[in-house]
Amino acid sequence: MFVAFGEVVVVGELVSAGYIGLDNASFGTVQAPDGSRQRVFATGDRVTPDGGHPVLAGRRDAVVKIAGRRFDTAALLRKLAAAPEISDVAVEPAGNGLGIWFQSALTRTGHDDPAARARVRSLARGQGTPAFSVFGVPGIPRQPNGKVDRAKLTANIEVPCDEADQDPRAAALAELWSRMLERPIGPSASLLDEGIGSLDLIRILPETRRFLDWQLSILDLIGADSAANVVDRRPDIDTWMDDETAAQIADDLAAVGHPAAPAARERSRGGSAQTVVILGASGILGTGFAQAILDRRHAGLDCPDVVFAARSPLPEHNPWSGAQSVDGVDVVRIPDHLTAAELGALLDSVGARTVVNCIGNTNVLVPYHRLRAANVSAVASFADACARRGAGLVQLSTFVVNADVTAPRVTDPRHAPYPYAASKALAEIAVSRAASDLDFSVVRLPRVLGDARQLAQSSDILVAMVDACTTLRMCPVVPVTEEVTTGVAAAHSILGLLPQLSPAVELGRGMAVLRGEKVSYTAFLGSLGFEAIALAEWKDRLDRSGWAARNPQRWAVLDAWVGLGARLRGRTYADYLAEYPSVDVDFAAVAECTSAPEPLRGVFGADQIVRK
């Protein structure tokens, strides 16, 4: 028996060829180092290491995709089952999210249990559940073997009580939402507390605009949080930051407000430690690093030992299948919420010289509190862990943090134009003001595109634009030019900054600006054969198209992008940002490097990105 990609696999002659009379993908054969072939069975049981021993983490099919994110239902189930007020619970996919059915002392007798329901919602939000519905039931139906009988799970949905003092428009809007989401939403009900996920918010946004007769954004909807609040006020066109978010950002800025003293070293810098650790291996940049390592090895170039740390199982195709067969390359699984102590243990175990942090939430459509953990808190803890072990940190950032990407400053996160920009600005400040002896490089990246498989699933603005234009056979006239590169091109350039592969002894506590190919949107889209029309007309056609209904995530990205363009009022994004206050970042040096992506027309093959 051994563990592969976090799953227990049984190997040997005692393994059968399959279930009696049935073919099954869990059975197969592997080739041993001596060339012999042995039968294997993938058990479907996931494990995580604890003190060198495997601990059951749940079944493989307990990891489901909700609102575009992989989510471990087994971890949520364990949290819910441990709550003393919950006597039984089931978690299953339901619609665009998860259904959570619970039994308590009150629901067992047919009564509602608001306190238990609130506890379940709190635990679900605490686990980062993207979208969910909560139902109190008299009992959880089970099969004779103890498994939940999914076919018999029913949602005892009650219509919310009418609130006599509510604005009739709020009640009408809540009724509209209830019909669209096929679940009861009261006028004062919090969308957050109800577990309404991003895809459901996108579904109700167009009809909500028609109802209100004004162009609220997805962030306006998130900020208002209820039908009553939406109809009660019309947010200022440039306002996305509510009081709670403003307080969170102010607190985070204060927490990194002053440079820290040197770290208490747990290991001296240098020595035999030479390994590069790539955090967040399964994303666009992590995959780009895997391909870049393969390219260097195939070209006979120097290459350090590399450990790819992944939070989710890696695909069983190139570049991963090729990279994992290369000497000096290893893949390890890490928890979804990696702590400083867990990162420190990993760095110690592999002898890390440099850490490249590819972990981050790039969703521009979610509120700040959804970005904070990965983009701010984790960065600060990673910087501390690296400083304590004398390891260098490469922190990946973005062009959107400042009007002048080469300037050592960021737009004040308390005045950022949207949550993602605020979180990335705070990350740069956190790294620069970490322990004074932390060796680091902040790399500001242009738009980064993934490989062909990633493009097919991507909601990147340029990818969404090409997909939409392919359907409409028309493109908008947009006076936008920005720099674009690919994950593998960016990875090659970043590898060239590392002390292991460059003349530099250290990263140098500086900033590197990675340049990409300059792309004029109108010219590029026109070169693909699309007729150019006015943006307003194009957007109107898009909103009424079947493509928008079939591709809500891509439509929402385009919708937000057009909304931001309206706020610019003819200015460039850089000119727009220049009007906001900024915060200086203490970089010892600023450098520029160039990535060389393949021609973008080849990257944007319609067969790669178009969704039917």
Task: Tell me, letter by letter, the H, E, C secondary structure of 466-518.
Answer: HHHHHHHCEEECCCCEEEEEEHHHHHHHHHCCCHHHCCCCCCCCEEEEEECEE
Q: Which of 305, 280, 284, 282 is nearest to 293 (CA)?
A: 305
Residue 554, CA atoms < 13 Å, CB-side half-sphere: 27
Q: Which pLDDT score is estimated for 517?
A: 92
- Is the domain spanning 171-235 CATH 1.10.1200.10? The answer is yes
Can you read off the two tokens belonging to residue 602?
Answer: 């080849």
Please state, in angstroms and as integers, the Cα–Cα distance from residue 595 to each residue in 283, 362, 489, following that order: 19, 21, 5
As a whole number of angstroms, the distance between CA 381 and CA 377 comes to 6
Residues of the chain with pLDDT under 70: 1-2, 4-5, 17-27, 67-68, 95-96, 154-165, 233-239, 257, 259-261, 263-273, 605-612
Name residue, tokens 């162009």: 215
pLDDT digits 0-9 by tens, 203-248: 899 999 889 888 888 878 887 889 988 887 665 555 677 788 899 9
Boundaries of CATH 3.30.300.30 in the chain? 65-152
Q: Which of 127, 133, 158, 136 is nearest to 85 (CA)?
A: 136
Boundaries of CATH 3.40.50.720 in the chain? 275-452+482-518+573-598
As a whole number of angstroms, the distance between CA 422 and CA 419 comes to 5
Can you read off the two tokens belonging to residue 604?
Answer: 């944007």
Boundaries of CATH 1.10.1200.10 in the chain? 171-235
Can you read off the two tokens belonging to residue 244?
Answer: 């709670």
Q: Which CATH number fits domain 275-452+482-518+573-598: 3.30.110.60, 3.40.190.10, 3.90.1150.10, 3.40.50.720?
A: 3.40.50.720
Please state, in angstroms and as integers, the Cα–Cα distance from residue 464 to each residue in 368, 524, 558, 608, following that order: 23, 14, 7, 12
β-pairing, 329-333 with 306-310? parallel
- Is the domain spanning 65-152 CATH 2.60.40.790? The answer is no
Q: Which pLDDT score is estimated for 436?
A: 86
Radius of gyration of the chain (CA): 25
As a whole number of angstroms, the distance between CA 243 and CA 220 comes to 13
> 3-class SS at 422?
helix
Please state, in angstroms and as integers, the Cα–Cα distance from residue 511 to each residue in 168, 247, 494, following that order: 54, 28, 12
In sequence order, the 6+-apart residues with CB closer than 8 A to the CB of 329 are: 293, 305, 306, 307, 308, 323
Residue 387 burial (CB < 10 Å; 0-12/13-18/19+)? buried
